[in-house]
């Protein structure tokens, strides 16, 4: 998980919020002008996916596309169950993230990740708030963890980001190994600090982003000091 920098919210969502029946559920099929090809829900979803560099906000897998439409859902940082007394929060762009399906249709909760696993549980981790992500670390086997017990529980249990059936640790490990191979090839000996700094800048600003880039940034930050 890395920080997501929020861009401007789509103008269609601003217009939509002015309508009388503007609820989150009604975003499906809602149009604010005749020229609008997609409904408000998909305009917002596409905008979220773009500003996340095409990755799930939690597990950082590439969000797949089906017929040009991203196959993912809108996640609410403050869950919808808590938005009942404050329905505006459910259509607040700053409360929304794009997340992968997280094995939503799996029979066992052990196989679900991201919002499919979280449901309405409390979550202190927030990709829009850098300070909540500070304690995130990675092991060389690709597992994500934190020395802080609350953060660790949220990563490992609430979001299930070490899910075996989704091979998340393996995917991270593979991404790291690929990067290390490139570094080794380019600089078989001597200082790699300069190169790591350039790579770090590249991965922070890359668009679309490389899947599982969180572990790469973590490794580079520790090796270019
Ligand atoms: Zn995910």
pLDDT tens digits for range 4-24: 999 999 999 999 999 988 999
Q: Chain-centre distance of CA 89, in angstroms?
A: 20
pLDDT in the model for residue 208: 93
Structure token pair of residue 62: 């590439």
pLDDT beneath 70, residues of the chain: none
pLDDT in the model for residue 225: 78
d(CA 175, ligand 1 centre) in Å: 16
Tell whether the torsion through CA atoms of 221, 61, 116 and 129 is positive or negative.
Answer: positive
**Sheet strands (E) in the chain:** 65-66, 69-70, 73-76, 96-99, 137-138, 144-145
pLDDT in the model for residue 26: 93
d(CA 14, ligand 1 centre) in Å: 27
pLDDT in the model for residue 145: 98
d(CA 113, ligand 1 centre) in Å: 6
d(CA 96, ligand 1 centre) in Å: 14
Cβ count near 163 (within 10 Å): 21
pLDDT in the model for residue 219: 96
């Amino acid at each position: 998980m890395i920080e997501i920098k929020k861009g401007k919210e789509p103008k269609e969502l601003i217009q939509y919020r002015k309508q009388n029946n503007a609820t989150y559920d009604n975003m499906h099929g809602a149009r604010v002008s005749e020229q609008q090809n997609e409904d408000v829900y998909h305009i917002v979803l596409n905008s979220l996916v773009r500003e996340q560099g095409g990755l799930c906000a939690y597990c950082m897998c590439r969000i797949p596309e089906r017929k040009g439409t991203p196959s993912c859902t809108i996640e609410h940082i403050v869950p919808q169950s808590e938005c009942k007394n404050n329905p505006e929060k459910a259509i607040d762009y700053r409360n929304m993230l794009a997340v992968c399906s997280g094995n939503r249709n799996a029979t066992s909760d052990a196989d679900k990740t991201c919002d499919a696993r979280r449901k309405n549980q409390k979550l202190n981790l927030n990709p829009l708030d850098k300070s909540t992500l500070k304690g995130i670390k990675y092991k060389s086997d690709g597992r994500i963890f934190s020395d802080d017990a609350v953060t660790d529980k949220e990563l490992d249990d609430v979001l299930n980001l070490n899910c075996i059936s989704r091979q998340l640790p393996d995917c991270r490990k593979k991404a790291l190994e690929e990067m290390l191979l490139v570094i080794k090839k380019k600089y078989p000996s001597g200082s790699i600090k300069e190169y790591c700094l350039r790579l770090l800048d590249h991965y922070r600003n890359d668009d679309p982003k490389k899947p599982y880039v969180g572990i790469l940034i973590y490794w580079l930050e520790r090796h270019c000091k």
